[in-house]
Amino acid sequence: MKKIFKITKILVMIFLLNTITQSKTIIVGTNAEFAPFEYLDENKIVGFDIELVQEIGKRLNRPIKIKNLSFDGLIPALQVGKVDLLIAGMTKTPERAKFVGFTNDYFVAKQVLIVRKDAVEPKKVEELKGQKVGVILGFTGDLIITKIPEIKSEKYNTIFSAIMALNTGKVDSIIVDSAPAKSYVAENKKLKIVEIESAEEKYAIAGKKNSPLLEEINVILAEMLKDGTYDKIVKKYFK
Ligand code: GLN
């Protein structure tokens, strides 16, 4: 009898713990300098990724809290448990996958170059040899350029500061993801985008390695694709 009582007690505790974790806030790290995925609109963090993760939170029945961090501080913040998830237009790379777990991808992107309007258009990254290319610290574009020793790279903390350097002639071009490049060039009449041969990059949400949350999100992402919610958010941010 005593044993049955003990087992029931344990079961009740497991049930309670489960309900507590289910309604627990999920803290999501991002870097709000990557429009249209995440950016500040009158001090509010908005964008495609933010809306996507808010919807995921709704479907998980857990509130979402967004934390704005520097891009290169995101993976360390996840590792020390300051945040539970990362959504930041982050490319799933084998190197990052050593430290974090990734969901299935939710967006496919490419790297492009931004140059001044009067510049000759390079077709391949190799043609940039001897030139100075602005890269954003820790971005995948940074990794591509840094691999080619003949290209001089200048590292910047934000896309915005790299754009300033390009406008003032400190660098000849900037390498950055396609969608943010479009949104920055739309606001800079003296600049243009040059498509280059570059590999596809897949954005995914990151969480702690082997976290069950990642699998739950995969199920939700598939549902959102099927029921049209994903397309609705795409239409809102990519006109
Ligand atoms: N997709 C790029 C990367 O993962 C840039 C991401 C970002 O700046 N938010 O490095």
Report domain extents, the chain. 2-108+203-237, 111-195
Q: Is the CB of 71 under 6 A from ligand 1?
A: yes
**Alpha carbon 35 to chain centroid distance?**
11
Q: Which CATH superfamily is domain 111-195 in?
A: Periplasmic binding protein-like II (3.40.190.10)
Q: What are the tokens at 34?
A: 């990557």
pLDDT digits (tens, 9 = 90+) for 30-74: 999 999 999 999 999 999 999 999 999 999 999 999 999 999 999
Q: At what angle do helices 212-226 and 229-237 cross, to 10 degrees?
A: 80
Distance between Cα 11 and ligand 1 center (Å)? 44
**In the chain, what is the straight-line distance between the N-terminal and C-terminal CA atoms, in Å?**
66
- Is the shortest distance between the CB of 140 and ligand 1 below 6 Å? yes
Q: Report which residue type is found at 224.
A: M
Interval 83-114: pLDDT, tens: 999 999 999 999 999 999 999 999 999 999 99
* pTM given for the model: 0.87
Residue 220 structure tokens: 């939700």
Chain centre to alpha carbon of residue 222: 19
Q: What is the CATH number of domain 2-108+203-237?
A: 3.40.190.10
Q: What are residue 233's DSSP bridge partners?
A: none
